[in-house]
Amino acid sequence: MASKLFGKNIAVDCQYCDNCIIDSQGAQICIKNKCITNGKCRKFAYNPLMRKPFKLPVLPKYNPEDFML
């Protein structure tokens, strides 16, 4: 069996659930009328395409003197 894209222990979150839609005001609505209780949702269906990547941190600037021995 192949491993999941982001591991087997994916935290339940409506942001990347297949049953979640975003209305015109930007609020998340579950089309199955469910909600997260005790960190679980009975209708949670993970969709990796809804996951938003984090921004990369800004790298510090180095001088050539930092690499001298």
CA distance 9 to 38: 16
In a domain, 65, yes or no: no
The number of domains in the chain is 1
Q: What is the pLDDT of residue 1?
A: 42
Q: What is the pLDDT of residue 3?
A: 56
Mean per-residue pLDDT over the chain, rounded: 79
In a domain, 55, yes or no: no
31-58: per-residue pLDDT in tens? 777 777 777 788 888 888 887 778 899 9
CA distance 61 to 5: 33
Mean pLDDT over 8-13 rounds to 76
CA distance 47 to 5: 10
In a domain, 24, yes or no: yes
Verdict on whether the full-model pTM lies above 0.85? no
In a domain, 20, yes or no: yes
